[in-house]
Structure 1
Amino acid sequence: MAHDAAYHWPPELMALLTDTIPLLCRSKDDVVTFLRGAGTSEALLYRFRQQLAVDRSAVSKYKIAREVIRQLNEQGDQGLGVRRALLRRITEFDDFSMCWPDDQLKARGLVAQIREVVGVKDAFTRMQQERDRERDAHLADRRAVEDERRRRKALYADLRAQLTALFSMEDAQKRGLELESLLNRVFALDGIGVRESFTLRLEDGEAAEQIDGVVELDGQTYLVEVKWWAKPLDINPVSRHLSRLMTRADVSGLMISASGYSAPAVAECVQFLAFKVMVLGELRELVLLLEREESLADWLREKTRRAKLERRPYTVLDVDF
């Protein structure tokens, strides 16, 4: 595995360590012991122990320190723990009475320099690590956004395919039921609160009315009616939906038709705007939104805004806005 150069000793630090360790130790044996105390392996120190045992004059304190430091630095990640321990041992060194009297002042100065170099290097490493963390977090955010984009794209494509398939379905009743279920998923895709279709019944169990669905957006509840007729909806089915709204407080209406609306039906909704919000939509608008992967929530917001301010319950995407 490739090592991280940020954790290696730069040449200036290696030179300082080579000059400092011999000053902190009175004898050559003390240098070896100092290095061993920081975790340096016996295998690395064995040659110097042998040289000291045979001919102490053949090797100096500086040579021992220089060679061990060089080899520790060449160990890469394997020697990272020892390098850190050795630096910590030097930077935390505070009993200079153990040094030769003539070396004490110089040793103090060199230890101070090492502390400064290590401090700068650690600060750089921390900054680099923070930049790496920020980069990784940014990349993770980008991946999450891209994953969500792909997920939504797949959902839009699937819903569009299902909606398109309904046009070739001959069983009108089955088509209507599947359309209601499909529209619930379409609205839920864009974060619009959805309540599945339900039936209100009288005390004797007889069905009083069938509600295709309920959606909630920006705190506003819409009672939804879906119609797939061969011709534009006339005033009768629209009036029945308006009647349902009148029996419910603070509820708006949304109708979705596969065949548009007759002029009398639209006029009836215009008059109804004096009492409640009523929005008329077309199935082809939803198909277009799915093809474009555009927001159904924004579509409903815009149609509601125009119904309220312009008294136009029937506006069509790509025609009126």
Structure 2
Amino acid sequence: MQRARHRVVVLALPGVFPFELGIPAKAFGLARGPGGDRLYEVLTCTPDGRPVRTSEDFSIAVEHDASVIATADTLIVAAIDDPIGVGDPLPEPVAAALGRLGPGSRLVSICTAAFVLAAAGLLDGRPATTHWVHAERFRERYPRTPLDPDVLYVDDDDVLTSAGAAAGMDLCLHLIRSDHGSDIANRVARLCVVPPWRDGGQAQYIARPVPDASGSDTAGAREWALRQLHQPIKLAQLATQAGMSVRTFSRRFLAETGQTPGQWLTTQRLELARRLLESSDLPVDRVAEHAGFGSASSLRQHLAAAIGVSPAAYRRTFQGRDREPPSRQPVNAAAAG
């Protein structure tokens, strides 16, 4: 008999980060249907069911061993504190645990757990990401994995990877959104007091020289732009809103968001279009107008470039009709909405 709820199993390995370990239980545990029913069941396990030390000064005890992985619809491997020390090949108990995942199930890594998946050969030839601090070491060690260190997460159909720490929450919200739509994912985000999506990728978190401090930041201009998405917005207008020259504004905008103003505007227009496609029956050309794309053709081109589907296909998927296979393209959290 098939379970009514999607089962998420979280694998805790020695050196697990407590924060990242708790993210899936929190996010998926808060996801509820219209009647208040839980949409997910979350189980936590270790390879042998015994307690494991964490990255801090305490250990954790769990209720399950790796046998529950065979029942998982989604397996999430939580981040560990010493990814460089991951055995290659993996220790037999860890490899055996990952080997229990059944066909058709999703496999997810949070932050440095991408090293675990790569050591198991599960990321060979597949796009992935991990914490930017470890990106170069990852590339050296696993050259067969196309690594993108600039995004918050990568969705490659049944294998998904996230960047550091809080990006694990971004990825969990993305999974909930993909499974059940934006309304439920946004409610989970509100309950967790986090944004439903974040601008830009890891680029905005990488250490870099402090930009010129003259003038104000770009937040006010971004807030203004969000209220004007239905009409053309020029770079000079944004710079005026921030009280800066175009050159200074462009430089500071990139430093703060990890995107150029043009890229950021396209991302916001796509997010608005996706919300309208999910929540309204507006014709595609009207959605395009509201989101500032001007024409249905322009919206189709931008949506296809971002997530690989047409507006009609996206609407069918997220309004619950005739679900189509998801794109296998790497997905930036900002573009994922």
Scaled to the shorter chain, the TM-score interval is under 0.3
| TM-score of the aligned structures, taking structure 2 as reference length | 0.26
Highest RCO, 1 vs 2 (Cα 8 Å, sep ≥ 6) = 2
